[in-house]
Amino acid sequence: MIFLLFCKIFSRKSSLLLTMRYVDLHTHRKGDNKYNAQGTRYSVVNCAPTDELDGLRYCSVGIHPWDVAVGWHEDFERLKERVLLPQVVAIGECGLDKLRGGEWLLQMECFQAQIDLARMVGKPLILHCVKAVDEVMRMCVGVKCVFHGFRGKPELAKQLLGREFDLSFGERFNVESLALAWQAGRMWLETDESELGIEEIYERAARALRISPTDIVVPGTVSW
Ligand SMILES: [Zn+2]
């Protein structure tokens, strides 16, 4: 059910099934927000609650754990105002980071608020998680989540896939983990802050999986 909802969120525009479609689940490059010249690139641009969203085709909006400070409630109010906009397909990136970012208790409070909001509006979360997998697994119940920038080992991939998390892979990844997510039908690809284009990331993933890039279909595109 949640999976269908996720597909629905990503299904605002249908296009020719025969066209190769590159879906970039997470990018910080605002210029990537529209179709490319061939009409084949769909990018979910990462935004903070105060960013300008006009003109973005797809975006995610959230409070990054690095940006969590005492006044996070103000950002959260802004996020609540914007979360129902049609171009906002997910909440994030948000999550927990034990190595960097705001004070731990504030990170937890702010993340919990975003999880509750995601549940309420039925939109998925794009997760940033550093050294906090146990906490994230415990907190993210009853909400669709994608771990972004996943570089973890297969043991962790298996654990997360078993809990119905999707995994998104960028420039560098563990090949076995990628294969596990692909086999589970829960593999996304992303550029994040890479210099590479999403087309190159698709090529790398396809080479690792020994398939053609044209065979790659990420979960959210099934109903596009
Ligand atoms: Zn990012």
List the chain residues with pLDDT less than 70: 1-20, 32-39, 220-224
Q: What percent of the chain has pLDDT above 90?
A: 72
* Domains identified in the chain and CATH numbers: 2-9+21-218 (3.20.20.140)
Cis peptide before 164 (omega within 30 of 0): no
Chain-centre distance of CA 30, in angstroms? 15
pLDDT for the residue 6:
52
- Report which of 169, 172, 182, 186 is spatially closest to residue 209, judged by C-alpha positions: 182
pLDDT for the residue 8:
46
Rounded to whole angstroms, the maximal C-alpha distance in the chain is 49
pLDDT for the residue 3:
44
Q: Please list all protein residues whose beta carbon sits less than 5 angstroms from ligand 1, which is an ion.
A: 192
- Report which of 161, 162, 85, 164 is spatially closest to residue 123, judged by C-alpha positions: 85
pLDDT for the residue 76:
98
Q: E strand or H helix at 128, and its extent? A: strand 125-130
Burial environment of residue 104 by CB neighbours within 10 A (0 to 12, 13 to 18, 19 or more): middle
pLDDT for the residue 22:
87
pLDDT for the residue 201:
96
Distance 43 CA to ligand 1 centre (A): 13
Distance 27 CA to ligand 1 centre (A): 6
Distance 74 CA to ligand 1 centre (A): 22
- Report which of 118, 156, 110, 114 is spatially closest to residue 137, judged by C-alpha positions: 156
Distance 21 CA to ligand 1 centre (A): 21
Distance 49 CA to ligand 1 centre (A): 14
pLDDT for the residue 40:
74
Q: How much is the pTM?
A: 0.87
Distance 62 CA to ligand 1 centre (A): 11
pLDDT for the residue 13:
39
Backbone angles phi, psi at 19, to 5 degrees: -80, 135
Distance 126 CA to ligand 1 centre (A): 9
